[in-house]
Chains A and B, each alone.
Chain A
Amino acid sequence: MNDLDPIVLFAVFMEMLGLPLLILLVLGSVVGTLAFFSLLLRERGIVARRMLYSQATGLIGGVLALVLMAKVSSSGFTDAGGPADWLLIAAIFGLGLVGTTIVVYSISGWARALRS
């Protein structure tokens, strides 16, 4: 299975997004994830109230991810034709939701931690 070459995938995504944006996205997700988990360690758990409003914002993030996807793929909102499409839509929405939730949770958590 040397076909599963991450360098190939990196090359394709680099052509798709351009190197600066790709690096920014990779760095963003790495920094976001690190910030989230380090916050969990620091606070020894999840702050329920903050998580709740982060998730609420995450819903908007999910919708925005779908809007962005529709725009860059020149699609309408009635183009889903089969199960694979619904899976892709769910994946995009999920990615937007989880990403936004983590970012909002981390930013507000660290902002509070650094203030105090």
Chain B
Amino acid sequence: MDNDDKRQLSRRTFLTLSALGAGAAILPVSTANAAAEKLRTSARIVIVGAGAAGLSLASRLSKALEGASITLIDARREHFYQPGFTLVASGIKPQDYPVSRTADYVPKDVRLVEERVSEIDPESNQVTTESNTRFDYDYLFVACGMVLDYASIEGMDTSRIGSNGMGSFYHGPQAAHATWEEMSRFADRGGVGVFHRPNTEMKCAGAPLKYAFIVEDYLTRRGTRSRSEVIYNSNNKALFSVPIVSEKVRMLYHQRDIQMNYDRVLQAIDLDRRVASFSSPEGRVDLDYDFINVIPPMKAPDVIRNSPLPWQTGAWANEGWMEVDRGTLRHARYPNVFGVGDIAGVPKGKTAASVKWQVPVAIDHLLADLSGTTSDALYTGYTSCPMITRLGQAMLVEFDYENNLMPSFPGLIAPLEELWISWVMKTMGLKPTYISMLRGRA
């Protein structure tokens, strides 16, 4: 049995059992959890960022190493379960559903430094925090995530999320809840709903699409669909980067009379007059809206952009994503540096499910380095997206770098079929699996 078969089997086994227990996961289980003998080392390991990737790394490193000095640096005390933002913005879950405390997941032998990182110098193997404290490292894991570039949309003001028809659930739990309240008011009245995605790499590229589906469903359920228009503006010539998924979404949008426009990127917004301005091949297009879900461009944080770590050329140089090998997640120029999670400059993989597959690979390579061996562990781009297509149903879309569908349960849970079981996984199973991942248990 080769690795792919094993991986598929492990996903399938896990999903089977999860479904029996009310659908506990699309974040698959890997072998790294198996009790193993700890590796003795005096290595100094620094992890920048305590999000999904940073905390999973800390937990797994703590379980795998004896005697290492592991430092986790992040100023934010709250931890956000970001896949929950869409559910909050859809009125399915309360505002506090995605919120917990970072410190609750940090293992005892990992030092948590609650500060912002101000500089990373991979030449001298040093990380500096805002208080000017320096941390020398032998190995560095960068898991600092990304930043939402709201400022690049002219006229956008995040303090007005949830008012006058403007929502934006990516901004955080509070914004997600405010978006829900505003969307609900819109669904009662009806009107023009505008949805779009940015023209940059983004986390969870399915979220803009699923929110259009959800809003359309609310309009239908509240009897205002007939006097409403739902418009989805895509940034390029497709709805989704995986062609077969893009085509399926196009068919569903067509069925539900959701108007699709291509090559349109949000440039400016007039929050008082409720006008969104998009660039298009034909020039600027102004759209009056009654409700809009703003999704900002996304880019690497300044601390990465101001370091030598980003790609130096190509499409990702501007946005600042880290130049890592897409299989090993090791930095192309600094072999003792790894980039995991959203910050990694790889073709896909800015989701929690990707983190689940990336973390064991990066750790495997570190352990090989520490023990003087090599590792053939590779991240294949596995990403999953429970694409909600209406309240109560979702498509369990899983794919890899090559745009192959990677169904965990072929023949039973069809990847492009709208199913309740996939909805159950999203609403019930995903968060517990995610939290287990943070604790290094799944």
Contact = CB atoms under 8 A, between A and B. Distances in A.
B149 interface: no
A23 B96 CA distance: 26
B25 interface: yes
A19 interface: no
Interface string B414-435: 1001111101100111011101
Given A79-B392, A81-B418, A12 B432 contact: yes
Interface in B1-60: 6, 9-10, 13-14, 17-25, 29-31, 33-34
Interface string A1-32: 11111011101111110000000000000000
Contacts of B392: 75-76, 78-79
A76 B412 contact: no
A12 B433 contact: yes
A88 B442 contact: no
A46 interface: no
A15 B435 contact: yes
Contacts of B258: none
A103 to B, nearest CB: 19
A82 B432 contact: no
Nearest to A4: B13
A74 interface: yes
B14 to A, nearest CB: 7
Contact of B423 (A7, A73, A83): A73
B185 to A, nearest CB: 20
A3 B20 contact: no
Across the A-B interface, the 8 shortest Cβ-Cβ residue pairs: A79-B392, A15-B432, A3-B10, A11-B441, A16-B432, A85-B420, A79-B420, A11-B436
Interface of B: 6, 9-10, 13-14, 17-25, 29-31, 33-34, 92-93, 391-393, 412-414, 417-421, 423-424, 427-429, 431-433, 435-436, 439, 441-442
